[in-house]
């Protein structure tokens, strides 16, 4: 109590000045319309700037939720695209029958780890077995192919990137359906190679490369890249094709994992044929 009295005694002049100044401002703005309007405009501007800053900060931290929502929506829309369906070839009259049946569904995921500088690069995503991810599922981005799922835990999965010497993806030239295998040579992460395209196939620069229907991992027609350069040496049976990849792996943030609903059925049937041979 003594310290409080001593404080007021020591600073009573300043305290008195402060309250008199405050009283003067109140009287000035209370009984003068011009000053009152100016004060309200000034404080209103400060308040709006303050709330705008709070709103911008809140919106920024909400971008992750918005992004996840958009990814889920895109995955749903991809599942409704025509290349996610196969045509049964027959039209039936039952109310549930249709010419087209869904063959592929998509699961959105975020990249949590990625490498592009190694000979065999891998990617980790934040979705796993509890989200329906399984080994040997194809993975794409909004721009093109990404790789193939290799290992899965409950909450995460690893992807063997297209920038991996062990990754082989069945592809074709879009203009003439000439098939080949996309394989990375370990050099530039912006380029890959399309191998085993027959020498009789005409090729020009900028020809588009897409996934083929020979793969059980990817729907036909998923963009891969464009022919950047090609050569054919004397005596060779196949073109040497350099492909400029659409997917920029150095900035990869979001992917879609593809589930082929009929993959097990197809592989079981083909396995029986191989066993019979």
With CA atoms as reference, report the closest residue to 245 among 219, 227, 218.
227
Confidence of residue 94 (pLDDT cuts 50, 70, 90): very low
Confidence of residue 134 (pLDDT cuts 50, 70, 90): very high
Rounded Cα distance, 41 and 47, in Å: 10
Rounded Cα distance, 198 and 131, in Å: 41
Q: What is the mean pLDDT of the chain?
A: 78
259 exposure class (CB count in 10 Å sphere: 0-12, 13-18, 19+): middle
In this structure, the chain runs to a length of 277
List, in sequence order, every residue forming a beta bridge with 170; answer none if it has no partner: 181
Write down the CATH number for the domain with range 103-271: 2.40.10.340
With CA atoms as reference, report the closest residue to 135 among 146, 121, 151.
151
Q: Which of 37-46, 79-88, 216-225, 228-237 has the lowest mean pLDDT?
A: 79-88
Rounded Cα distance, 246 and 223, in Å: 7
The answer to whether the predicted template modeling score (pTM) of the entire model surpasses 0.75 is no
Write the CA distances from 277 to 80, 183, 264, integer angstroms: 38, 29, 20
> In angstroms, what is the C-alpha Rg of the chain?
32
List, in sequence order, every residue forming a beta bridge with 254; answer none if it has no partner: 110
Rounded Cα distance, 154 and 158, in Å: 12
List, in sequence order, every residue forming a beta bridge with 181; answer none if it has no partner: 170, 195
CB proximity list for 222: less than 8 A, separation 6 or greater: 83, 140, 144, 145, 210, 211
Q: Considering the chain, what percentage of its residues have pLDDT values greater than 90?
A: 38
What's the pLDDT at 92?
Answer: 34
Asked whether the predicted pLDDT for residue 264 surpasses 60, the reply is yes
Rounded Cα distance, 190 and 170, in Å: 19
Rounded Cα distance, 159 and 139, in Å: 8
């Amino acid at each position: 109590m003594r310290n409080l009295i001593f404080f007021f005694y020591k600073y009573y002049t300043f305290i008195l000045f402060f309250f008199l100044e405050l009283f003067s401002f109140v009287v000035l703005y209370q009984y003068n319309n011009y000053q009152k309007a100016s004060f309200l405009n000034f404080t209103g501007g400060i308040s709006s700037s303050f709330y705008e800053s709070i709103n911008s900060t809140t919106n920024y931290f909400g971008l992750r939720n918005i992004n996840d929502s958009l990814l889920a929506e895109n995955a749903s829309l991809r599942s409704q695209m025509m290349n996610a369906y196969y045509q049964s070839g027959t039209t039936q009259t039952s109310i549930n029958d249709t010419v087209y049946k869904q063959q592929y569904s998509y699961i959105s995921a975020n990249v949590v780890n990625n490498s592009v500088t190694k000979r065999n690069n891998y990617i980790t995503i934040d979705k796993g077995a509890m989200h329906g991810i399984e080994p040997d599922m194809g993975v794409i981005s909004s721009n093109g192919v990404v790789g193939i799922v290799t290992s899965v835990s409950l909450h995460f999965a690893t992807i063997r990137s297209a920038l991996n010497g062990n990754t082989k993806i069945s592809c074709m030239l879009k203009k003439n359906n000439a098939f080949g295998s996309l394989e990375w040579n370990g050099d530039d992460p912006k380029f890959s190679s399309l191998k085993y395209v027959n020498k009789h196939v005409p090729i020009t620069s900028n020809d588009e490369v897409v996934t083929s229907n020979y793969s059980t991992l990817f729907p036909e027609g998923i963009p891969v890249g464009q022919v950047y350069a090609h050569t054919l040496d004397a005596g060779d049976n196949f073109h040497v094709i350099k492909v400029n990849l659409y997917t920029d792996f150095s900035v990869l943030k979001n992917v879609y994992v593809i589930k082929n609903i009929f993959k097990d059925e197809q592989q079981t049937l083909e396995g029986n044929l191989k066993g019979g041979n």
